[in-house]
Structure 1
């Protein structure tokens, strides 16, 4: 796949139902757009299962129509562009979800594209050559999939099954397996939980990033309001590591520049 028109593609895959992939996708997009990066958020879920229904203050007037019954509506979430499915169909089958090329808006440049794949991880992982799973495909530049889990044994067990489902496609170099684990709603692993990880998830435990619990966000879900700062701070180092954000200036450099002025 040629991903160059999308910048860095970040597919956000849920390891288990309700893991918080929509929250992570919004956090990533908010960090990027608040840092002055041009970010596109994509939600390829059936509208009735979307976790980003209220992510924009109002529905945008701009619609792409790749299919007579399946449309893509673009709205603004502050400075990030949000693309969501609209349909007259009762259910959107995976094969009816538009391929990635249809989601690229006619903007000059995208630094990153964040894709929320949390609506049905088992179905997404079934056939990544079509439907929402196409965002996991290998290409240039390489996508950077992340896996989102809850700090619980059942979530880690589900995540292992999802990764195992992706194994055959990764083995034939069709897609990239997630290399970054994000743990929602905790500051550390509860006692005895990490030991439940299978060999695929276990390989991600060392560099796992923990996103703390936020009661207000848990109650309201994603809205048009900016996500809490402490949650954004938790995932900011990941984006810096990937070169999507500049490294913060050290105190010495700031003092040096201040002295020169």
Structure 2
């Protein structure tokens, strides 16, 4: 996966993102919110280990938990098909788990489209409704859809969580702003940066980062194709290089530990996501660069 590097003028870090339409078996935003309520309301014991829709345009795709608990949410979206959003989402989850956090990784994609189907080390079966498959990977609990139809809604459910929830949203669509940090994944090539530029424009207003997957450093042709949205994020230090891995390119995600460099990129993205989320929610009127992005 590739890095974003250039340094430009200062730029504020708040931005808004909207997403592509999921091609098969999309969940509505209400469905995703309901799943989150059910998921976050369950008590899942913390396990420590080594790392190795059709969306409603008026709704947030990520529900906001109460500020009175320690809950945090990060959404990972694909800037274009084949960007590698599931890999980045798993890297975030593994990095958080290695740091001792309780982590849920939720994939609302239709069965057969999940990139996390083989990522759990232990399968825990379905939830009581038979709609969601659960598995565990060290400190990470992974949930993915078991059925093609949308899950039933339970209006009495509520958000209760202390830990991190990572939403692997792929190309699911959202036009609404959210205070939860959103990481948009793209390939570090000419088509990738052109497509992610459009996605970033759609999502303006949300606290954003870009995870660029590909070779370290951008080729001249790629740099020449960068649009203003990507350039602003690069200048703010909010485009992070995610290394491409030849083995994963062949096998896909499995229960084996991710490469250390990939988990390190996930940890960096988590740190930046926490920063931009805080700045987005709190008073912030100036422009500044956030240090720490891979150059």
TM-score calculated relative to the size of structure 2: 0.63
Are 1:220 and 2:251 counterparts? yes
Shift of 1:230: 1.5
Cα deviation code 1:143-199 (max 9, x no counterpart): 1101111111111121122233335xx4xxxxx2x5211111221111220221222
Equivalent in the alignment of 1:147: 184
Shift of 1:112: 1.0
Equivalent in the alignment of 2:242: 211
- Whether contact under 8 Å (1:6, 1:113) holds in the other structure is no
In structure 2, relative to structure 1, the CA distance for the partners of 1:14 and 1:192 (3 Å cut) is: same
In structure 2, relative to structure 1, the CA distance for the partners of 1:240 and 1:165 (3 Å cut) is: closer
Distance in 2, matches of 1:156 and 1:32, equals: 28
Are 1:184 and 2:213 counterparts? yes
Q: Which stretch of structure 1 is more off in the superposition, 34-43 or 226-235?
A: 226-235
Equivalent in the alignment of 1:252: none
Rg larger for:
1
Residue 115 of structure 1 aligns to a residue whose secondary structure is strand
Equivalent in the alignment of 1:40: 104
For 1:1-261, list aligned pairs within 5 A. 1-4=63-66, 7-65=71-129, 71-87=131-147, 89=148, 92=149, 96=150, 109-118=161-170, 121=171, 124-125=172-173, 127-128=174-175, 138=178, 142-167=179-204, 170=205, 176=206, 178-206=207-235, 207=237, 208-242=239-273
Alignment RMSD: 2.9
Equivalent in the alignment of 1:248: none
Residue 224 of structure 2 aligns to a residue whose secondary structure is helix
- Whether contact under 8 Å (1:54, 1:222) holds in the other structure is yes
In structure 2, relative to structure 1, the CA distance for the partners of 1:226 and 1:110 (3 Å cut) is: farther
In structure 2, runs of 5+ residues without a counterpart are: 1-62, 276-295
More helix by share: 1
Shift of 1:18: 0.7
TM-score calculated relative to the size of structure 1: 0.70
In structure 1, runs of 5+ residues without a counterpart are: 130-136, 171-175, 245-261
Shift of 1:220: 1.0
Shift of 1:57: 2.6
In structure 2, relative to structure 1, the CA distance for the partners of 1:153 and 1:101 (3 Å cut) is: farther
Residue 192 of structure 1 aligns to a residue whose secondary structure is helix
Shift of 1:203: 1.8
Distance in 2, matches of 1:152 and 1:214, equals: 16
Residue 47 of structure 1 aligns to a residue whose secondary structure is coil
